[in-house]
Structure formats: structure tokens, C-alpha cells
């Protein structure tokens, strides 16, 4: 049982392997004596998809498996990424690829929320804050505007009209007659300019807003706050564009097509606070707002796990696979500043071995449910405590490294036995049709390594083959149970150290995996809680049941039993907390 009697969530497609106490063996890269290559085989254990050619079919995307020279292929980058993720955990390496864009959340106002409307009177400039005047909101029935306002657009619009001053004392307009009596003419006596704010089309909403500017200052806002809301407006437009829609902000009078997201004097705006105790003020443009927090995911990584800033302080994974330096921040007077460092492990593309590959649905594309999580991002899943405006220095940090569970019902099972849980009958703009490889396909690839220490080679071998009963996850659709696969090292060839002194010697000699694995286990792998968590989530057997749906489903606010309802139900009760991996396994 969690805090406040909240029961943590066990059944979810992914979870987080904890970071561990500290990065192990930070330091300078050492040059080892082990150079050679592995010849590997990858065997698919569940459906596999690697994105290749795409075709747009009236907004619906048709996607085919990736090919090189007409041969089904898993790119080296996919293989390297999967293996490096394992190595990161085994060696408590730094967190990589962390976004520096700040966290966001979509909120639904409730009785405790403070929502006030305003009109921008001035923008921040030359060190001075911008000013927002409080606006009196008048609710007006949609059907009235649709009939009596020529400029009205149900898809959303912001525009000005002239009305009589008595609008200031009215809260709601219910009839066409009331509306007509309030209309005024330009330069007319007792006539003021008001703003009509028609939000994006919402079929269930009966009213739109008329905003009447008052003399009261609602809020003074900084340039940073202005940049935040403009970022969110642009982001909203980008999302709409992907759905072949135009965001109504682009149609504002006097707005630039290129810089439509830039706010200007006279624009309406909303000031939002979660409750009376919340000190954070959010400027938003929607009554169901998306807000931006103070910190990015990178800020939520404990400093000891942030990427190295010096060649003298590299973590294990950086020493093995290399790292990308940032020369723009280099201090020329400081020795050891980080520059790009090439890796010592090189993957080749994996090519299919099967002459007649096993493709699901006899090669016909499969219409799948949307891959993405069917609800707003739950930032709370990723953090140890729900406080998005604090960072790692204040005790709020990411839970760990994200891994997906294997689905027992899909491991080496006929697609027909579980297809109902992940497929749809119709092609829509929000889903895709994919060419899926079945279980039982085999790929071959080589991995080359140079100058590795014995323990480094041992960790690499362990990460490639894993222990019996553990599987990798590769490709797209991991939440659906796709991408489970087994990697086998079929040949382990070490470069003969005597190859130059004796020409009769073979260039390569066969290596003994156990020797190196044992060294790796002694130094890195044995008796660590986060490694135990990794083994649990990589196990092909677990006590979770994904046979009905990859994501949990419930009845609720929206029609039918679906994941959005589950999410909203949990969020309203403050129950969006994932159970720990060890507890899920019963350990």
C-alpha cells in the first residue's frame, strides 16, 4: 500500500529499473588488450517491427518492415541501443539522451482551480514586465453566434466586435434578442470593443466567451513566461498539423503566418492556478490547459548520474560506446574538458537468414491500435515524488531507466490468439497498418570490439546473450509485446596477440565466454538490487497479464471501456503511481 492508502499500479506495459547508489568506476578510459568480433544470431520470439517505407493512404499510414537491398534488416543502431541500455544498468552508467525541454502536463480544472481571464495590455520589454488586465467573462450561446455573428467559426477564432457598455454587467446571453440589443456601432456613444473567443470545436460545450477588459491589473508577466506560452501555442499547432488541422490562432487579425504563435497586445489569455495554496501562476490559452514546469528531465537526473563533462570522469558505458562532446561549452584553458569520444564497440546491421521469412497475416498489413499511450503523459510515473517544479537537488528525481515487460501471451504464440487485443478493424488517421514479422525468424550480425579490458568484454558478452530465460526488446511496439528476441553468440573470435611475431599463427583464436563473464559478474553484476530488477523485467515469464489489452482499461467519463477512462479515474484519485519491480515480482 502506498502513501495515503493509494494502491500502486502493477499492470502497465513498462516500469523503471532504479539507478543504483552511484556511478561505478568513473574515470579515464583504459586501453585493454582484447580485440575481436562476435558472430551473432537474433531469433524473434514475438512480433517484430522495424520502420521502413511509409505510404500515406488518405491520412492513414501504411508502414513496411525496413529493408536494405531488398533484404529484411534490423539496423545496427537499434541493436546497439538495446545492448547499451543493458550495459547502462549493469554498470550504473550515466543517464543518456535526456531531454532538456521542460516537463509539461495537461490539467483539468476542478472546483479548487483558479481560472481568470485577461486581455494583454502590454508585452514584456526592456526589462519591464508585461501587463494583463482582468477581463469580465460573458457566456454566450454558440447557436446565437453561429446565426448572428458573420465572423464566427466553430473550429475556433478570436475576433473583436462592438457592444454597448452595459455588457459589463451581464454574465450570460441566452437569446438572440439579448445579443442583438447589446450590439453597438463603431464610434457609437457608450460603445466599447470586446473580444469574442471561440475555442476549438467542442460538441458538448453550449457556450462561447465574450471578454470585456476592465481597468484592474490581473497579472504582470515576465519575458520567460511569455516565451513559455508562445512555445505551448506553437506546440499545439504542430500537433494539429499532424492531424491535418489548422490551429485557430493562425487566423487572428494582424497575426503573422510565420510567427502566428507570437502574442500581441489585445490578445485574450487565461491565468491559471491549481488551487489557492499553489504559488505557481500559469499563463494558458485553453480552459483545459497544458502547462509547462520549471524543470526539464535533465534537471531531474541526480548530478552524479548526469553525462560526464570530462574525459577524466567517464562512466563505464561512455568508455565502451563513446560519447558526444559539446565543444561550444569548452573552456580552452581547462584541461580534460569533454570532446567527442569514439566508441570501441561496433555493430553491423542484422540481416534475415530465412529464405522465406515468416510474416504475419500472410504478408498483408495489420491494422493496429495507436502505438502511443492513449492518454495524456503521466509525468508522475517517471518521478519519485509528484512535484514537477522541484528538481534533483531538492529531492525530486527520475525513478530510473525505462524498460518494457515481455508479454507471456505473445511469446512464440500464433498471432490469431492475441490479435484482438492490439488490432482494429478500420483504417483511421490516428492508427497505422504495419508489416509485422512473426516469431521464429532469424537474423545474423557481427559485433566488433577493440582494446577492451577483460571486465568490459565480460559485460558486453553478458549484455548480448543475457541469462537463460531473459530476452531483449527491439523495434517499435514494445508496449504491445512486440520485439521480444533472443541473441546468441555463435562465434567468439579474439585477435591473436602473437599474429605479428609468428606468421604461422592464425589471426583469430576462439575465446572462452565464461572467463570474461565471471570477471564481469564479480565486479559489476552480482548482488545489486537494480540488476535484480533488470532481470525481472527482462524475464520472458512474469505475473502480469496483457492478454486483454496492452494498457489497462475501465469504464468512466468517455463511452465504452478504454484506457483514457482508466487514466482519468486514477488521476482524479491521485493513484498514478507505479509499483516497484521487486514488489511486482513478489520479492
How many helical (H) and strand (E) elements, i.e. helices and strands, does the chain have?
Answer: 11, 27
Return the H-helix or E-strand segment holding 14: strand 14-18
- pTM for this model (two decimals): 0.74
Pairing mode, strands 484-495 and 207-221: unpaired
Burial class of residue 294, CB neighbours in 10 A (0-12, 13-18, 19+): middle
Per-residue pLDDT band for 392 (boundaries 50, 70, 90) equals very low
- What phi, psi does 147 have (nearest 5°)? -95, -35
Cβ distance 486 to 42 under 8 Å?
Answer: yes
Least confident range from 75-79, 109-113, 192-196: namely: 109-113
Pick from 195-209, 215-229, 495-509 the range whose average pLDDT is largest.
215-229
pLDDT in the model for residue 291: 61
**Rounded to an integer, what is the distance from CA 77 to the centroid of its chain?**
19
pLDDT in the model for residue 569: 83
Residue 96: strand, helix, or coil: coil
36's grid cell: 575481436
Q: Using alpha carbons only, what angle is made at residue 13 by residues 7 and 18, rounded to the nearest 5 degrees? A: 70
Return the H-helix or E-strand segment holding 89: helix 76-90
Cβ distance 315 to 23 under 8 Å?
Answer: yes
Residue 20: strand, helix, or coil: coil
pLDDT in the model for residue 328: 34
Residues 258-317 have pLDDT tens digits of: 677 788 899 999 888 876 766 667 788 776 566 666 666 667 788 888 888 888 999 999
Pairing mode, strands 484-495 and 472-473: antiparallel
Mean pLDDT of 354-381: 81
- What phi, psi does 110 have (nearest 5°)? -130, -165
Mean pLDDT of 212-226: 93
Cβ distance 364 to 419 under 8 Å?
Answer: no
Determine what percent of the chain is predicted with pLDDT higher than 70: 82
DSSP state of 401: E
Amino acid at each position: 500500500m502506498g502513501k495515503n492508502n493509494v494502491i500502486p499500479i502493477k499492470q502497465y506495459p513498462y516500469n523503471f529499473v532504479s539507478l543504483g547508489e552511484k556511478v561505478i568506476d568513473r574515470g579515464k578510459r583504459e586501453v585493454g588488450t582484447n580485440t575481436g568480433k562476435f558472430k551473432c544470431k537474433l531469433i524473434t520470439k514475438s512480433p517484430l517491427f522495424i520502420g521502413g517505407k511509409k505510404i500515406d493512404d488518405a491520412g492513414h499510414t501504411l508502414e513496411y518492415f525496413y529493408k536494405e537491398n531488398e533484404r529484411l534488416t534490423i539496423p545496427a543502431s537499434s541493436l546497439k541501443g538495446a545492448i547499451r541500455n543493458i550495459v547502462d544498468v549493469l554498470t550504473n552508467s550515466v543517464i543518456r539522451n535526456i531531454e532538456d525541454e521542460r516537463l509539461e502536463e495537461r490539467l483539468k480544472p476542478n472546483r479548487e482551480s483558479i481560472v481568470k481571464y485577461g486581455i494583454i495590455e502590454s508585452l514584456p520589454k526592456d526589462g519591464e514586465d508585461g501587463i494583463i488586465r482582468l477581463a469580465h467573462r460573458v457566456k454566450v450561446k454558440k447557436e446565437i453566434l453561429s446565426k448572428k455573428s458573420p465572423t464566427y467559426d466553430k473550429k475556433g477564432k478570436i475576433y473583436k466586435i462592438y457592444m454597448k457598455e452595459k455588457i459589463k454587467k451581464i454574465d450570460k446571453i441566452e437569446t438572440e434578442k439579448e445579443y442583438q440589443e447589446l450590439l453597438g456601432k463603431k464610434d457609437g456613444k457608450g460603445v466599447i470593443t470586446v473580444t469574442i473567443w471561440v475555442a476549438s470545436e467542442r460538441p458538448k460545450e453550449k457556450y462561447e466567451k465574450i471578454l470585456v477588459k476592465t481597468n484592474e491589473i490581473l497579472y504582470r508577466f515576465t519575458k520567460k513566461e511569455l516565451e513559455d506560452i508562445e512555445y505551448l501555442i506553437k506546440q499545439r499547432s504542430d500537433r494539429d498539423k499532424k492531424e491535418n488541422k489548422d490551429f485557430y490562432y493562425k487566423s487572428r487579425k494582424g497575426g503573422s503566418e510565420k510567427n502566428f504563435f507570437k502574442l500581441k497586445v489585445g490578445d485574450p489569455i487565461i491565468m491559471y492556478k491549481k488551487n489557492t495554496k499553489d504559488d505557481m501562476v500559469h499563463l494558458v490559452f485553453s480552459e483545459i490547459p497544458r502547462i509547462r514546469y520549471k524543470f526539464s528531465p535533465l534537471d531531474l537526473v541526480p548530478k552524479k548520474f548526469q553525462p560526464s563533462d570530462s574525459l577524466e570522469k567517464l562512466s563505464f558505458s561512455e568508455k565502451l560506446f563513446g560519447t558526444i562532446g559539446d565543444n561550444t561549452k569548452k573552456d580552452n584553458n581547462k584541461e580534460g574538458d569533454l570532446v567527442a569520444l569514439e566508441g570501441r564497440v561496433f555493430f553491423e546491421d542484422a540481416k534475415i537468414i530465412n529464405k522465406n521469412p515468416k510474416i504475419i497475416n500472410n504478408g498483408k498489413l495489420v491494422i493496429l491500435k495507436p502505438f502511443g499511450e492513449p492518454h495524456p503523459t503521466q509525468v508522475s510515473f517517471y518521478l519519485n515524488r509528484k512535484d514537477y517544479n522541484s528538481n534533483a537537488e531538492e529531492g525530486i528525481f527520475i525513478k530510473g531507466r525505462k524498460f518494457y515487460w515481455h508479454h507471456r501471451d505473445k511469446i512464440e504464440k500464433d498471432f490469431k490468439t492475441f490479435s484482438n487485443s492490439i488490432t482494429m478493424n478500420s483504417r483511421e488517421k490516428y492508427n497505422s497498418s504495419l508489416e509485422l514479422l512473426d516469431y521464429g525468424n532469424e537474423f545474423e550480425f557481427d559485433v566488433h570490439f577493440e582494446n577492451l579490458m577483460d571486465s568490459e568484454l565480460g559485460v558486453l558478452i553478458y549484455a548480448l546473450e543475457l541469462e537463460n530465460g531473459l530476452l531483449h526488446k527491439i523495434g517499435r511496439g514494445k508496449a504491445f509485446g512486440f520485439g521480444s528476441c533472443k541473441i546468441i553468440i555463435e562465434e567468439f573470435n579474439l585477435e591473436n596477440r602473437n599474429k605479428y611475431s609468428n606468421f604461422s599463427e592464425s589471426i583469430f583464436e576462439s575465446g572462452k565466454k565464461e572467463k570474461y563473464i565471471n570477471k564481469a559478474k564479480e565486479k559489476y553484476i552480482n548482488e545489486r538490487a537494480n540488476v535484480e530488477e533488470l532481470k525481472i523485467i527482462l524475464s520472458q515469464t512474469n505475473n502480469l497479464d496483457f492478454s486483454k489489452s496492452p494498457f489497462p482499461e475501465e469504464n468512466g467519463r468517455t463511452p465504452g471501456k478504454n484506457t483514457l477512462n482508466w487514466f482519468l479515474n486514477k488521476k482524479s484519485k491521485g493513484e498514478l503511481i507505479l509499483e516497484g519491480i521487486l514488489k511486482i515480482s513478489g520479492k
